[in-house]
Structure 1
């Protein structure tokens, strides 16, 4: 508005200098005041500057804003030519269409003026609103939404299933029937009724305006109530919306009707009621999977059929998104967690590339396989062992393993049931997760060495995916006791299952690589462009030997499968204390080129369940290793190297 005032003020001053004071306002002033009143939605005041019937002009300006779904209009005054008692003025218009969810429309306007009885007036006709608008015509905004494309697995097959849907909408018609129908629909479906009405007013006549798309099951529940609403129309169809039940659903995400809130994240040019991604990859790749609508502003005749296109914004076709998910391995992960009653997550990666092969989540509504921030407990001994090996420790070194040890004034004890070993070889302490052996070795390990080794294995490393993920954190230890706690994954150390799967992949292949989830379209990850971290071969070989010993004769022996070389480490962790204490059971390992990590966690469990609950209500020790075996039994043996 300030720009408009400034432009007109300078024009008026210039004319005043040339011609002196005048008894009546100049044409510039009339056009200025008309545009300002129009911009401020003072339509009746704007009408007073025209030759038209005041009510007709008021209705015409108000209706035009409604027909465009205008979320504000801005005007700029251009050149004015005056010749005796007539004049012409040009101006610019900017309109945010469809209540700000559509494109911005900019066009040049033009008005003619005439001085009648000493008073300048704008000659009214519909062309004042837009030069292409003729008598009896109205403005409308038409959109054509592309058909949504699916998310694909690594072989190019859809990971989402065709979902039967019913699209509920209306045909723009006489009020108040449409208004009542929309507000009733809004009460039943949480649709934004006022916004939907604005979209209907801007739509061309005689077109179907979709308001909300319901999955068939939701439609059946609402059908008795919807059938009573006069004016609603129903279109049946299928869309690739939802993943198969419990098949990577937290990762793939959901599709549903857009709301004003969800559109703030997605942005234009989508509208309330459009099917858009609401979570996961469906949200991250909304513009690829959903394309963008073809939008046009038209001048429509009284019969609602003849159209003149005033402006068009071509949309983009929808394209499928190809992921690295392996359907067979994902199915094995889902099956392994199928009867787990606690929250659980499992993620598998291709060790030689970092490609994510599977991500399964049980009970958490979010993708905890990527985003979980869990204490790793004794499986963090993979990191501390790698750091110790870098300092020259050998797997055959004799390390005391007393029942308890005090470090920095804090008492550390071996878990109940741990074998009593006086001074076993380091490989035995690793295999049995001897807490006191590892905390005792903390003194020979500088804090910086532990931190740099964690980075070497990807903990806290800088990488990103198109969906949320946690890379891990290892704050600098504040004391000797805390550094000792870090050796066994206690204290503020936090990791995600994905973090630990990538660490296992680094030990398997000898190189840590950042994860990759989507291959088309390319996400251009800077971390992948930079490459990975190479582990010294001697240390990688020693770590593989340690993990094999844990599966053969240690805490992870439940994962040992006949005829299959499985490498891994099982461990437990706790968080909190008393009634709020949480228990975590981990397995981290690999077979062939498949590296994976899984975690179970829970609290306050009353009844024992197979694989995950001990008699005292906690998670049974070794449960994760048993589930790891189930996962490997269901995975293709030929996968990877």
Structure 2
């Protein structure tokens, strides 16, 4: 429903509730009729009916009531009667007014008074401007004074903005300098699509000699319309720099545009010129918090000088308007971005702090989207999912020194597995098979692990957990493991889907001994008020069995020192990790999952080289070491 439609419905409902009240307030029928007709006429816009119930000049009263609505840019007036009382030779009705100022402004409430006189035997409202408001006098008018405050920033973990300045262009007018405000609005509406009546309302409700912003344009749109805008008399364009161009990770931070007629409808009603709309990422997810707020004042003006006479009500800027503080780290993000430039392969890297689950960096090459693929993508896990099998193998008392054949092909329970890269054709210890990512050797362990136990172990590492991040994410999914074939496929990651974020958290769980849910935003603590539904409660951290953690650390260290993840080795503290090959459709994919110190990562590269992810991780850790 549009803002205008909502206003109409609100007024109709107000009348339905109020009119019966008016009928029951008075014992004196003629006084009752005068008050009822005046207020109902005023509320519904039937100013002729209202004027007939006053002792003033009907034309003057009609115009005054109409001007009050126009100068307040009011969506509706609603009234509630408090009673009727004698005041000397006059009778007075006390009422309560509620004025919807529209434009996403607050409700203005005030107490009013209607003096009544007998005129030729009929009760009439004794007219003066103070009937509209006690502080409105002859030679004065209402106005709404709005002071805008710009869009707030998205910050990194050190409170530095994750945006660079960009210029928006605002079309302004000064009402007192316009020869024909309606014509200006008609032309502006024609080229922008904004409703003419809303543009005109902004002008009529403003202080006459103040600059009034009407429409805001982005750089591209302004360039397209510049000549047409310059041809409209009275329009002045003001450049307005704002921190809205996203820095890396750009798709996580999100883009911002000026309000358009289409986005105005999506936001649920008229927005002010200068307002901005988050189109993606955190800018969209936290639109209600970040969007520019305003200080609003209802004032009276001297109609001759346009000077302010009195302030009737003031509302400070919305308290909800605030920066959004994230866990992103600029140094770690730069190291991630640089690492992906190494060989040009399409790839993604997600880095988290192992001890907290806080997301430190999300980086992708141009082929992938940071939110849709790095956080929420659904990719086959490959043999990195064998991490989940270690607890079951320990329970089965399997020796990690036992020898396993790593043939090029193997069948387990009817399911076929293929190992093309090294160490195919060799005989390895279980540790060697894990470190080298031999799918055929690892799949053969399915008969030693119960499928239910494997699924339960995956759950301990957060696979399938209900996350609470403000952006789209995927925590993973394991198909039902009803037989040896299904269990073997799970160990090989063929019937398991995960995202790079979910596997970075798995690496963090091994590094710290506890799986923790991801954290991306630390402030505000609550969900954005504009969100369609509240997010589920964040899952609690899960402590991993100490022996399982110790074994995994040993295995993943071997993956870097003697296994297929050797390319991940870097300066500084030891690097831990394993690699795996997988396919996505017909595309070969290469995983690396591991950590150095307290930074855990998952890398997924589109490559037939199973070590491609490890090479990216090595560059990342090396670059991070150099920065720190």
TM-score greater than 0.5 by the shorter chain: yes
Write the distance in 2 (CA, Å) between the matches of 1:170 and 1:478.
71
Write the distance in 2 (CA, Å) between the matches of 1:187 and 1:270.
18
Equivalent pair of 1:177/1:231 in contact (CA under 8 Å): no
SS in 1 for 2:379: coil
Name 2:545's counterpart in structure 1: 536
SS in 2 for 1:503: helix
Name 1:545's counterpart in structure 2: 554
Equivalent pair of 1:39/1:74 in contact (CA under 8 Å): yes
Name 2:9's counterpart in structure 1: none
Name 2:357's counterpart in structure 1: 354
Shift in Å, 1:330: 0.8
Name 2:165's counterpart in structure 1: 162
Equivalent pair of 1:195/1:272 in contact (CA under 8 Å): no
1:96 to 1:486, Cα distance in 2 relative to 1, 3 A: farther
Shift in Å, 1:134: 1.8
Name 1:634's counterpart in structure 2: 623
Question: Aligned pair 1:556/2:565, yes or no?
Answer: yes
Question: Aligned pair 1:573/2:582, yes or no?
Answer: yes
1:612-635 CA-to-partner distances (Å, cap 9, x unmatched) read 5xxxxxx65443333223322322
Equivalent pair of 1:330/1:360 in contact (CA under 8 Å): yes
Write the distance in 2 (CA, Å) between the matches of 1:251 and 1:599.
18
Name 1:207's counterpart in structure 2: 210
Write the distance in 2 (CA, Å) between the matches of 1:105 and 1:624.
60
Matches within 5 A, 1:494-505: 494-505=497-508
Equivalent pair of 2:99/2:107 in contact (CA under 8 Å): yes
- Match 2:424 to one of 397, 420, 424: 420
Shift in Å, 1:489: 2.5
Equivalent pair of 1:474/1:494 in contact (CA under 8 Å): yes
Matches within 5 A, 1:413-562: 413-417=417-421, 419-421=423-425, 424-474=428-478, 476-477=480-481, 481-491=485-495, 493-522=496-525, 532-561=541-570
Structure 2 length as normaliser, TM-score?
0.84
Shift in Å, 1:113: 2.0
Name 1:597's counterpart in structure 2: 602
Name 1:120's counterpart in structure 2: 123
Matches within 5 A, 1:93-492: 93-99=97-103, 101-173=104-176, 177-182=180-185, 184-185=187-188, 194-214=197-217, 219-220=222-223, 222-244=225-247, 247-259=248-260, 271=272, 273-285=274-286, 289=290, 292-302=293-303, 303-315=305-317, 320-338=323-341, 344-363=347-366, 364=368, 367-368=371-372, 369-407=374-412, 409=414, 411-417=415-421, 419-421=423-425, 424-474=428-478, 476-477=480-481, 481-491=485-495
Q: Which runs of 5+ in 1 are unaligned?
A: 20-24, 602-611, 613-618
1:407 to 1:252, Cα distance in 2 relative to 1, 3 A: same
1:544 to 1:526, Cα distance in 2 relative to 1, 3 A: farther
1:621 to 1:251, Cα distance in 2 relative to 1, 3 A: same
- Match 2:85 to one of 70, 76, 81: 81
Q: Which runs of 5+ in 2 are unaligned?
A: 1-14, 528-533
Equivalent pair of 1:177/1:230 in contact (CA under 8 Å): no
Equivalent pair of 2:177/2:234 in contact (CA under 8 Å): no
Name 1:608's counterpart in structure 2: none
Equivalent pair of 2:371/2:471 in contact (CA under 8 Å): no
Shift in Å, 1:79: 0.5
SS in 1 for 2:25: helix
Question: Aligned pair 1:4/2:18, yes or no?
Answer: yes
Write the distance in 1 (CA, Å) between the matches of 2:483 and 2:186.
63
SS in 2 for 1:347: strand
Equivalent pair of 2:150/2:293 in contact (CA under 8 Å): no
Shift in Å, 1:190: 5.9
Shift in Å, 1:386: 4.6
Write the distance in 2 (CA, Å) between the matches of 1:203 and 1:61.
17
- Match 2:70 to one of 60, 63, 66: 66
> How big is the alpha-carbon RMSD for the aligned residues of Structure 1 and Structure 2?
3.6
Shift in Å, 1:595: 0.7
SS in 2 for 1:155: coil
